[in-house]
Structure 1
Amino acid sequence: MKFFSGTGSRLVPPHAVPSGALDQLMATHQVTSAFVAENVGNFRAAPTPQTAPVVGVTRRGLGLPGRRSQPMELTGACWVGSNVVPVALDDDGVKLVADHLLTARSPRASFFGPQREVLGLWESVKHRWSDPFAVREDQPFLVASEQSLSQPHPEVRLARRSDFAKVLPASAAMFTEEVGYAPDTSKESSYVLRVAHLVTKARTYVVMRENKVVFKADIGAAAGQICQIQGVWVAPEYRGQGLAASFMTSVVEDVRHRWPTVSLYVNSYNLPALKTYHRAGFRQVSSFATVLF
């Protein structure tokens, strides 16, 4: 494994990444690092605390593992679990993390996150990687920062545990439309457990009509004051009626009581969704990219 770049940047393995330095890095980039921040928090809060699968990047002169006289500072980091999610990697950091990924040779479900870092990682590893299922190069990253042009809809509410059997097929339909293949919905699959977790933790919003889910949205990631909405879906028969912006306005208004900053990202070619989010008060602040396997 390559630990130093030619310019003096160094890869820091997970066991040596200082918690304080990682927290500071994520706080500096908190709006776009909610996924990593939440998952790092989950590892730390486990009954038996575990080391989160995060590699760091530092530069010569910013401290090295084991040298207590000079606390290490991180210039970047990357979550390297089943998903690969970079945080503030510069060009040297991208090269070091790419080398780490190629050396580890572990299968990954996706790369996603800030556009420049994700596409840089993919460009660096694709010659020795399996072919992707899809590459989404341009995904506007939006934050709800303006007044909504739509009124909140009174039917939007949090899903209850008793709704799970109805939420699951709606979630699966959304996944299939977005990703291009159906998720594993067999009992105890990771997908089913994830849907159940979001419902149980009051992180799924729905509109129910005739005992069916006709709208859903999940709080897919949340840390500190920041959350990220994912899994937005409207039943086909209710599309094109101007309802989605009203539904999303209700979600944002309620979510802000728990997480004041509400974000999401969307494919650039999904013009109806972009129009909906604009009406609901979202504005672009950055760009994401995703590579799916």
Structure 2
Amino acid sequence: MDDDGIRVLGRGDLADFLALTAQDRVVNVFAEHRARATALDPRWLGGEVWGRFEGDVLVAACHVAANLVPVGCDPDDVRRFARHALRHGRRASTVVGEHDLVAAFCDELDGAWGPARDERWSQPHLEYVGPPRVAPDPLVRHSRADDVEALHPACVAMYTEEVGVSPEAGGGAEAYLARVRQLVSRGWSWARYDADGQVEFKAEVACASPWAAQVQGVWVRPDLRGQGLAVAGMAAVAESVRREVAPVVSLYVNEWNAPARAAYEKVGFVETARFATVMW
């Protein structure tokens, strides 16, 4: 344990870590999902979870893999985690979480990780508990294994449009295709397909716990935008997720994305927090 009371968590810390995520099970759904799936074993995490202790009590944590995500933190905690990160070198390519915590983390870094590739400082975090305010699209359904050939290009297009770089860049094509297939096999992929089997609208669940699920990858084919497909489609997805995965459906969206924000509001999503995302 270092001078800030930080050490790497392991299987024996799982119960205490889940007690931290339980402080806000919707905001912390990503971290809880990762913990339940890996039991905090670094071999399966593809990274580490750091815990900060006061005496023997776990008071804050930080998921550190491709995404660095604060859990149960206040600004002082994340500044401590930032100092720990500076001592151990950059491992994450993205810092994401509640706005004030990401801001405090990056302030403590003070440019040591170099210039960020993208900074999104105001991302409304939205929650849905139903019922929908609009009629769900009856043509939205779970994607199947035989849909992957059509679904995969739509997923690549959405990711590239949202992040600014293809998920298949740098030799990542095989891994990304495997991720698409994994979500389909879990029943976590929904889409509306046209008569030729091409994707018109799609969305996925990225992570889930018994209490909440986080939706990602919402996309409408460019030539069909502005026709209401996202509104009815998200109503269908949100209700399906609420029935089959978890009772609360969440997502976060860029503040400048007015069409998406308007669509989610029409469905019945309400803002509960502000996130920020910084990418290197």
- TM-score normalised according to structure 1 size: 0.88
- Deviation for aligned residue 1:145: 3.6
Question: 1:57 maps to what in 2?
Answer: 52
> How far 1:187 moved relative to its partner?
7.6
Q: How large is the Cα RMSD of the aligned pairs?
A: 2.2
Provide closer, same or farther for how the CA distance between residues 121 and 208 of structure 1 changes in structure 2, counting only shifts above 3 A: same
Give the equivalent residue in structure 2 for 1:24.
19
Shift of 1:148: 2.6
Q: Pick from 281, 285, 292: which aligns with 2:268?
A: 281
Aligned length, in residue pairs: 276
Aligned match for 1:142, one of 106, 114, 126: 126
After TM superposition, where is structure 1 displaced by more than 6 Å over at least 4 residues in a row? Answer: 48-52
SS in 1 for 2:219: strand
Whether 2:3 is the aligned partner of 1:3: answer: yes
**Which residue of 2 is the match for residue 68 of structure 1?**
none
Structure 1 residue ranges without an equivalent (≥5): 5-9, 65-71
2:181 corresponds to 1:181: no
Residues 22-42 of structure 1: CA deviation (Å, up to 9, x unaligned): 111111221111111111112
Larger Rg: 1
Select 1:84's aligned residue among 64, 68, 73: 68
Whichever residue aligns with residue 15 of structure 2, its letter is: G
| Aligned-pair CA distance for 1:218 | 0.6
* Equivalence for 1:206: 191
2: distance between equivalents of 1:191 and 1:50?
A: 17
Secondary structure of 1:56's aligned partner: strand
What are structure 2's unaligned runs of at least 5 residues? none
1:82-231 paired onto structure 2 within 5 Å: 82-145=66-129, 147-184=131-168, 189-209=174-194, 210-231=196-217
Query: 12-21 or 241-250: which moved more?
Result: 12-21
- Offset, 1:130: 2.4
SS of residue in 2 equivalent to 1:139: strand
| Alignment partners' CA distance in 2, 1:147 and 1:202 | 21
1:42 to 19, 37, 44: 37
Moved more, 185-194 or 125-134: 185-194
Identity score, percent:
33
| Conservation of the 8 A alpha-carbon contact between 1:152 and 1:250 | yes
Q: Out of 213, 216, 238, which is 2:224 matched to? A: 238
Q: Which has the higher helix share?
A: 2
1:10-67 per-position Cα deviation (integer Å, ceiling 9, x unaligned): 2233249722211111112211111111111121298x988971111233xxx32xxx
